[in-house]
Amino acid sequence: MTRNKLFPPGYGCARAAGLLLAAGMIFLTACAEGGGEEESSVTILKDGKLKSLIVESFDKSYYDQDELQQKILREAADYNNEAGEGTVSVEKVAAQDGVVRVEMTYADASSYASFNDGIFFLGSAGEAQDAGYDLNRVLSSAKDLKETVGMSDILAMTEMRLLITDRKEPVTLSGKAAYISDNVTMDKKLKTAFFEEESGELAYILFK
């Protein structure tokens, strides 16, 4: 899969984060179970839009917030010139206490995937199959991992939405997870997904 060369595989929000890394900043990762640190993440909204948060170290005196913001804005503008106005929006770039936060909004999942050179499919199981994704998978119940479903069950769950991704940053769903692949763990509310860093497989989440 294609990745921005300035950004190591396994992290999210590649283009904007790549600009930060190019400036010599360090990508901040927080333990999935907490520890008080804020971490980069993605949120799926009810209307299908996506919001992403990128968190980076910004603790050197020669870093310029305005310059960084202009670089990210230019990157988004260049993308929108090809994909359509408003496809990607830079909501906020702010530096405080040695950390920079970049908040971005994407028109839909495909825009997020394209901008970040990754896979982030969001739709029905049937649409995923039509798009060429392999649904010959065994997914486990998010509530009871001993309960599993296969391809025929997955395709029959027409009321569910299916997320397929290769991203590694946590994703907050617009519903609750019902079935997940074995490289996914959910929080107690079944709303936020965490992905196994070492896995080279796509992650699958059925949710409603």
Ranges 5-14, 23-32, 48-57, most confident: 48-57
Pairing of strands 99-106, 120-123: unpaired
pLDDT of residue 14: 56
DSSP 8-state code for residue 72 = H
Does the global pTM surpass 0.85? no
What are the angstrom distances between the C-alpha of 47 and each of 50, 51, 145, 164, 171? 9, 11, 30, 18, 16
Whole-angstrom distance, CA of residue 207 vs CA of residue 181: 12
Cα separation of 9 and 139, whole Å? 25
pLDDT greater than 90 at residue 69: no
Who wins on pLDDT, 32 or 116? 116
